[in-house]
């Protein structure tokens, strides 16, 4: 058993995902530290989104352990006991530990508080921007509405809860400069604003870990620079951890504290952005050649 | 003026060709359907008779309509489609909300009195019963199904099954245990919603066409059970002399302790019919209230979100299983209420009342009205059900086609026509805007082009 760093929020251990004969992710292990941004990069088809789907419960991994902790780091001590117990997680007053591979997707979001965005934006296009953010707060509101019974009667506790939910939505809309469009249907927003709205919606679920699948895809350089600042600000203010898939290297190199590189489902590098950038294996994977050929190809393309 | 006239002249040959072709197709369709008729004669043998004048009339009028359409209407529609401003429908929706609803509610409340004042006691029963009650039952069913189809986006083609469950629950329990209507009403709703959940489980993972097929089959299963479980349901013969609802214990009959006698009135069936009218009106308004309230609650928003994108819902921690099941249960509950009312009003029920055609009618009402729109569904129910009832009363057609002509036989034909027309000009229903359930500054209706219909 390895020594646990107190500030780890997510531990991915020996994660494998097979679809029939295809090994999409092969024995992947890495950690996400609290309050940091970890980037998951790799060429197309490397298995990045599959890793996301395993973490967020959309896929059940073939093998591996995905442990997420929040609150007091001391709960990590319970990891082995939890693994052997067959339970999904331990909830203590001072912290919680979850085994994500044992949880269905909605519980990963609801209990473990892992929020995600999608590569192809998935907004509720026919609902307004505000409604999108209110749907994200479904679980606390549901509780406040007494599972609809009290809400149906229009009792005050629900009205108060809805006010709180609106204020939170307003806060995030201001944060993401979407407040002017609050009453517009989400499907009418320009592409960049839709990307921001999806992140705002994920933030409304009060996540411990935010998984962003290509947040800068389709953004122009100015928009992606703004997004960088916004993500850094969120990381610092809310002390949440982020896991990020991104192809835009300006985003990856500027904001991530840690980079994990995948190629054909296998981890080929793991470290600080600078170190990863200069790793011949990584360059080789992106150029599509073996690492012994990297120097020759680099000379050829004039790097 | 001159070029326009020339245009019309230029379209003549094409219009004639089109009309001829249409007439040919109509002839092909209607020759076997309308041209020939099998009649059982006095010796109980089937004989074939022909109905050439009717056939000729149909084919001729179809060709004429096509001709007029190509010559005069088609170019105008094409021009009109470009000119109609987008704002018009939003403004219309505002007017509708501000004026139409209070007026409509006031009208349905005073409707029985208006009828009594205009046609007197004798004629009023027919108008209140056949129009008022009948339409309100379908309005209620439409609003109930609206939760499942309009909000949650789950196409349910077996909705009539829950209506049947409600009706049979009331009939059987009232006859077996003598329980009153007001006790059995919630019970029938509960039983129906239980069946809704039962249907919900197997169809959780199904979407689109597959969901529609399974729900359709479910409706048939219930109907076949009602037909074949003779010891309980009495099969095709149905259940008769079902206890009628009472006015808080006072029956509506001609006895000394009946409603009329107790209140010192002259006995008339109008009191019972009027009472039933207000009961179904109250039930329909409760359904409407639930619909409106639920939309603004987290559960309603989750239903709409489910219709928009199920995967995004799951990523936000919404338990889609429970959300779908509550939608099925809620929808079924209102069908159960309506069913138990139906049984109490008719006094007789049989599986004949719960065929697929009923499900199709209710789905048609929801689709015609505009999915998710309360007013639209109500208007559609008035048109569809009121229209059918009106057709029973059209006498002048009999003078044209002879006394055996029954206009209600052409109900389905008109149904089809109305559907084609709606799909051609208002493909998303009569009310094609969605009103947001919450707003920060200004409520702005959303064009349904953005709203998904749900793949489920």
Interatomic CA distance for residues B427 and B156, integer angstroms: 19
Q: Do B290 and B324 belong together in one domain?
A: yes
If we measure between CA atoms, which residue out of B218, B445, B192, B229 comes closest to residue B331? B192
Report if residue B419 sits inside a domain.
no
What whole-number percentage of chain A has pLDDT above 90? 6
CATH number of the domain enclosing B135: 1.10.3470
Inter-chain CB proximity B298 and A141 less than 8 Å: yes
Among A163-172, B106-115, B315-324, B350-359, the minimum mean pLDDT is found in B106-115
| B254 plus B366 within the same structural domain | yes
Q: Is A264 on the interface with B (CB under 8 A)?
A: no
B143 and B261 part of one domain: yes
Domain-terminating residue out of B23, B54, B83? B83
Residue A4 — pLDDT band, cuts 50, 70, 90?
Answer: very low
CA distance A124 to chain B (A): 5
Residue B188 binned pLDDT confidence (cut-offs 50, 70, 90) = very high
Q: Are residues B79 and B107 in the same domain?
A: no
Lowest mean pLDDT among A94-108, B196-210, B299-313, B410-424: B410-424
Residues B19 and B113 in one domain: no
Q: With an 8 Å Cβ cutoff, is A183 touching chain B?
A: yes
* Radius of gyration, alpha carbons of chain A: 20
Give the pLDDT confidence of B326-337 residue by residue, as tens digits.
999 999 999 999
By DSSP bridging, strand A95-99 and strand A89-92 are: antiparallel
Question: In this structure, how many other beta carbons lie within 10 angstroms of the beta carbon of residue A57?
Answer: 24
More confident residue, B109 or B85: B109
A278-295 per-residue burial string, b: 16 or more CB within 10 A, e: under 16: ebeebbbbebeeeeeebe
Residue B179 lies in a domain: yes
Say if residue B199 is in the same domain as residue B250. Answer: yes
B151 neighbors B290 (Cβ within 8 angstroms): no
- Is residue B145, in this structure, part of any structural domain at all? yes
Looking at the complex, does the CB of residue A86 fall below 8 Å from at least one CB of chain B? no
Give the separation between CA B222 and CA B353, rounded to whole angstroms. Answer: 12
Looking at A91-100, B79-88, B275-284, B405-414, which range is the least confident one? Answer: B79-88
- Name the token pair of B238: 């149905």
Q: Is A119 on the interface with B (CB under 8 A)?
A: no
Distance from C-alpha of B253 to C-alpha of B247, rounded to nearest angstrom: 11
pLDDT tens-digit map of A49-90: 899 899 988 899 898 888 888 887 777 888 888 888 888 888
Domain contains B388:
yes
Give the pLDDT confidence score for residue B446 in this predicted structure: 74
How confident is residue B412, by pLDDT bands cut at 50, 70 and 90?
Answer: confident
B456 vs chain A: nearest CA distance in angstroms? 15
Query: A183 vs B436: CB contact, 8 Å cut-off?
Result: yes
Q: How many domains is chain B built from?
A: 2
User: Is B406 domain-assigned?
Assistant: no
Q: Do B311 and A118 touch (CB under 8 A)?
A: yes
Range 31-70 of A in CB contact (< 8 A) with B = 56, 58
The answer to whether residue B401 sits within a structural domain is no
- Name the domain boundary from B56, B83, B110: B83
pLDDT tens for each residue of A93-116: 888 888 888 888 888 888 888 999
Give the one of B290, B315, B448 whose C-beta lies nearest to A109's C-beta: B315
Which residues constitute the domain of residue B28? Answer: 2-83
**The predicted structure's pLDDT at residue B8:** 63
Closest-CA residue to B297 (of A109, A165, A197, A170): A165
What distance in Å separates residue A88's CA from the closest CA in chain B? 16
The verdict on B53 and B73 lying in the same domain is: yes
Interchain CB contact of A155 with B (< 8 Å): no
Q: Rounded to whole angstroms, how far apart are CA atoms A94 and B386?
A: 64
CB contact under 8 A, A122 and B311: yes
What pLDDT, on the 0 to 100 scale, is given for residue A278?
A: 83
Residues of chain B contacting residue A128, judged by C-beta atoms under 8 Å apart? 436, 438-439, 444, 446
Question: Model pTM?
Answer: 0.82
Does B17 contact A at CB distance below 8 Å? no
B239 and B193 within one domain:
yes
As a whole-number percent, the residues of chain A with pLDDT over 70 amount to 95
Instruction: Judge if B16 and B151 occupy the same domain.
Output: no
The per-residue pLDDT for B83 is 46
Residues B46 and B99 in one domain: no
Q: Decide if B13 is inside a domain.
A: yes
- Interface test with chain B among A138, A187, A209, by most B beta carbons within 10 Å: A138
Helix, strand, or coil here: B244? Answer: coil
State mean pLDDT over B196-211. Answer: 84
Final residue belonging to a domain, choices B50, B83, B116: B83
What would you report as the CA-atom Rg of chain B, rounded to the nearest whole angstrom?
25
Domains and CATH numbers, chain A: 1-113+207-303 (3.40.50.300), 123-205 (no CATH)
Q: How many CB pairs under 8 A join A and B?
A: 139
Please report whether residue B413 resides in a domain: no
DSSP string, B314-370: HHTT--HHHHHHHHHHHHHHHHHHHHHHHHHHHS-B-GGGGSHHHHHHHHHHHHHH-
Q: Is B291 found in the same domain as B354?
A: yes
Q: What does pLDDT average to over chain B? A: 82
For residues B146 and B272, membership in a common domain is answered with yes
Give the ipTM.
0.87
Q: Within an 8 Å CB–CB cutoff, is residue A226 touching chain B?
A: no
Q: A154 — contact with chain B (CB < 8 Å)?
A: yes
User: Which of B301-315, B370-384, B403-417 is least confident?
Assistant: B403-417
Choose, out of B307, B312, B451, the residue to mutate when testing the contact with A (most A CBs < 10 Å).
B312
Distance from CA of B314 to the nearest CA of A (A): 5
Sort out which chain A residues have CB atoms less than 8 A from B319's CB and list them. 106, 110
């Amino acid at each position: 058993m390895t020594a646990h760093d107190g500030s780890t929020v997510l531990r991915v251990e020996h994660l494998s995902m097979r679809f029939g004969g295809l090994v999409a992710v092969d024995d992947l292990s890495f950690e996400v530290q609290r309050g940091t941004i970890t980037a998951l990069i790799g060429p197309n088809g490397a298995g990045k989104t599959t890793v996301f789907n395993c973490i967020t419960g959309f896929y059940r991994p073939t093998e591996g352990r995905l442990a997420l902790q929040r609150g007091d780091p001391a709960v990590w001590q319970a990891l082995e006991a939890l693994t052997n117990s067959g339970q999904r997680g331990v909830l203590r007053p001072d912290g919680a530990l979850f085994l994500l591979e044992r949880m269905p997707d909605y519980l990963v979001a609801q209990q473990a508080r892992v929020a995600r965005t999608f590569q192809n934006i998935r907004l509720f296009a026919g609902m307004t921007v505000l409604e999108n953010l209110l749907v994200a707060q479904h679980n606390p509101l549901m509780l406040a509405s007494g599972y609809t019974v009290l809400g149906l009667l229009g009792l005050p506790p629900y009205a108060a809860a809805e006010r709180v939910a609106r204020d939170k939505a307003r806060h995030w809309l201001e944060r993401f400069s979407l407040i002017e469009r609050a009453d517009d249907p989400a499907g009418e927003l320009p592409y960049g604003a839709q990307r921001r709205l999806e992140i705002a919606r994920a933030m409304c679920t009060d996540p411990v870990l935010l998984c962003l699948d290509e947040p800068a895809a389709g953004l122009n350089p100015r928009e992606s620079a703004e997004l960088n600042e916004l993500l850094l600000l969120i990381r610092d203010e809310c002390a949440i951890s982020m896991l990020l898939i991104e192809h835009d290297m300006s985003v990856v190199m500027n904001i991530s504290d840690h980079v994990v590189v995948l190629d054909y489902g296998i981890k080929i590098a793991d470290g600080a952005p600078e170190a990863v950038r200069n790793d011949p294996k990584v360059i080789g994977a992106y150029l599509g050649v073996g690492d012994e050929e990297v120097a020759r190809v680099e000379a050829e393309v004039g790097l | 003026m001159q070029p326009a006239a020339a245009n019309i002249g230029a379209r003549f040959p094409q219009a004639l060709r089109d009309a001829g072709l249409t007439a040919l197709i109509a002839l092909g369709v209607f020759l076997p359907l309308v041209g020939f008729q099998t009649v059982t004669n006095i010796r109980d043998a089937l004989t074939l008779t022909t109905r050439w004048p009717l056939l000729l009339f149909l084919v001729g009028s179809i060709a004429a309509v096509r001709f007029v359409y190509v010559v005069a209407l088609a170019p105008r529609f094409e021009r009109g489609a470009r000119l109609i401003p987008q704002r018009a429908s939003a403004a219309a929706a505002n007017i509708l909300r501000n004026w139409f609803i209070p007026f409509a509610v006031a009208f349905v409340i005073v409707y029985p009195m208006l009828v009594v004042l205009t046609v007197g006691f004798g004629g009023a029963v027919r108008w209140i019963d056949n129009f008022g009650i009948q339409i309100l039952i379908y309005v209620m069913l439409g609003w109930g199904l609206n939760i499942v189809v309009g909000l949650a986006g789950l196409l349910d083609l077996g909705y009539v099954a829950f209506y049947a469950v409600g009706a049979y629950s009331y009939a059987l329990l009232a006859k077996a245990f003598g329980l009153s209507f007001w006790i059995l009403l919630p019970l029938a709703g509960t039983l129906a919603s239980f069946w809704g959940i039962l249907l919900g489980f197997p169809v959780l993972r199904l979407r689109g066409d597959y969901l529609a097929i399974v729900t359709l089959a479910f409706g048939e299963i219930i109907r076949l059970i009602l037909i074949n479980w003779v010891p309980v349901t009495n099969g095709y013969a149905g259940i008769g002399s079902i206890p009628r609802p009472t006015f808080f214990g006072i029956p509506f009959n001609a006895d000394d302790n009946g409603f009329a006698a107790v209140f010192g009135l002259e006995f008339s069936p109008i009191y019972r019919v009027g009472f039933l009218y207000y009961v179904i009106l109250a039930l329909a308004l409760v359904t409407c209230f639930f619909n409106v309230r639920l939309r603004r609650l987290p559960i309603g928003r989750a239903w709409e979100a489910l219709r928009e994108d199920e995967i995004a819902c799951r990523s936000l921690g919404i338990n889609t299983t429970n959300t779908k099941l509550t939608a099925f249960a809620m929808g079924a509950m209102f069908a159960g209420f309506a069913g138990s009312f139906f049984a109490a009003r008719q006094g007789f029920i049989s599986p004949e009342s719960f065929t697929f055609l009923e499900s199709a009618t209710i789905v048609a009402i929801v689709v015609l009205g505009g999915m998710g729109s309360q007013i639209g569904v109500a208007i559609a129910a008035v048109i569809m059900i009121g229209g059918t009832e009106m057709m029973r009363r059209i006498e002048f057609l009999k003078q044209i086609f002879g006394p055996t002509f029954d206009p209600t036989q052409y109900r389905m034909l008109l149904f089809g026509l109305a559907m084609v027309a709606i799909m051609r000009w208002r493909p998303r229903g009569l009310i094609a805007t969605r009103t947001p359930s919450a707003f920060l500054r200004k409520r702005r209706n959303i064009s349904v082009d953005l709203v998904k219909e749900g793949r489920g």
